[in-house]
Amino acid sequence: MKVVISKATLNQILFIICVVIPFFNIYELSFSVWMVAIAMTLKNNYSLEFIKYFSIFVIILLLAIVVGFFYDYKLYFVIRDITYLLKPITGLLLGYQLFNKHTKNPFQFIVYAGMATAIYHLILVGYGVFIGGAKNVREIREFGGYFNDFEVYTLVIILFKTQFNLEFSKKKSIIFLIILAISSFFYLARTNFIQFIILVIALKGIFVLNKRAIKVIGTTLIVVVTGYAAVYYYNPVRNGKGLDEFLYKIKVAPSEAFSTKINRDDWKQFNDNYRSYENIRTVQQLTYDESLLFGEGIGSQVDLKQKVFLGDMELRYISILHNGYMTVLLKTGLLGLGIYVLSIFFFFRKNNAATETLKNIHYLFIGTGVFLIVSNWVFMGFYNLIDTKTLLIGFLFAYKNDLQKQLI
């Protein structure tokens, strides 16, 4: 008996593979798989809105390449930077192309991909705790991974299943919700908790400013500040037991991201504020080299002035930073950074949605824009090498375009 797989089903399989593969944390593998998938799913046309957004990242890449011609970098670092800066380009393109107008329910399509990563993550966490002997936050994250923005999107979509016309039974929805919630929690990532709050607020329509929105945002800020104050005065200790280690990371979060002066000889201060140190060194280097306006191009690296353990490597020179804004600044200067900021504010454009589904996609885009402000500062935004939310965003652009065509 001959089995025929529809194009919509094939795209679903490819989408799940492309969402899961980056979490093997082998960038060469995920880049290769994504490129093959792009070649397999090329479309004849793309919406003008998507082309405008996609072009922002293409311009940044081309600008970095042009600037790089004025420097003499090793070919290896040049090629590596090109693949790094291609990350959001390939993700957006792939997500757009994997949308198929014959897909019965596109949001279920997204949920199944999120469930695949959640199950994979829980297996890793279970292995780490019960076999690997992971006993604290740091060790659990070493086994299971450090964040997953895609799962949080999926969790929120399940929470708002009525708005997204999900046709899951109540029992199935609860099972999915529990699995996604547990998996998302065990990343123990501060940014994912922030992302969850932002997306929930966005889908409630709170970011469309009015009196109600101002009250809700104000209340949320008060709760957050109060919560942080409670954690601060609780004074969790570094490498403490149980949740103390996680609470300590919350306590040092403001200084970690925004410190302007760090003593490199104080290992505790240096470690707690390392992300800020990367930013400081980048600005110092570009200022000293008089390259702040156009950056230092493809192949450039920041000199940290000392060797630092990053993952399983000890490095003094780094090509990409934790901060997406600073990474773009290094490669393309203030000019490229200004262009990059447009990619965030693109989501805040006024949109007169003609249907409920289009309105909810618009709300997701607004939530994404707000979250990217935070994500770019601490986790590189779309440029993170294991990021998969670009697939979701590209997919939503295609779905939105299809819905708009149906209204014509």
Each residue of 199-254: pLDDT tens digit? 999 998 887 766 665 666 677 667 766 766 776 666 676 666 666 666 766 666 66
pLDDT for 24 equals 87
Residue 2 pLDDT greater than 60, yes or no: no
Instruction: Give the structural domain span for 262.
Output: 7-204+252-407
How far out from the chain centre does Cα 38 lie? Answer: 20
Whether 219 is in a domain gets the answer no
The pLDDT value recorded for residue 46 is 94
Residue pLDDT, tens place only, 95-124: 999 998 888 888 988 999 999 999 999 999
> What pLDDT digit, counting tens, does each position of 367-404 carry?
999 999 989 988 888 999 999 999 999 999 999 999 98
Number of domains the chain is built from: 1
pLDDT at 127: 93
Residue 11 lies in a domain: yes
* CA–CA separation, 268 and 264 (whole Å): 9
Tell me the mean pLDDT in the region 26-55. 93
- Would you say residue 41 lies in a domain? yes
> Which one, of 150, 203, 155, 147, lies nearest residue 175 by Cα?
155
The whole-number pLDDT of residue 397 equals 96
Is there a domain that residue 114 lies in?
A: yes
* CB distance 152 to 198 below 8 Å: no
Range with the poorest average pLDDT among 190-199, 229-238, 351-360: 229-238
In a domain, 247, yes or no: no
Per-residue confidence band for 255, with pLDDT thresholds at 50, 70 and 90? low
Which is it for the CA torsion 276, 281, 282, 286, positive or negative? positive
Residue 146 lies in a domain: yes
Given a cut of 80, is residue 316 above it in pLDDT? yes
pLDDT at site 263: 77
Residue 3 has pLDDT above 60, yes or no: no
Q: Residue 141 pLDDT > 70, yes or no?
A: yes
Look at residue 209 and tell me if it is in a domain: no
Domain contains 230: no
DSSP letters for 129-159:
HHTS---SHHHHHHHH-S--HHHHHHHHHHH
- Average pLDDT of the residues in 354-368: 91
Nearest to 281, CA basis, from 252, 259, 297: 259
- Given a contact cutoff of 8 angstroms between Cβ atoms, the answer to whether 361 and 396 are in contact is yes
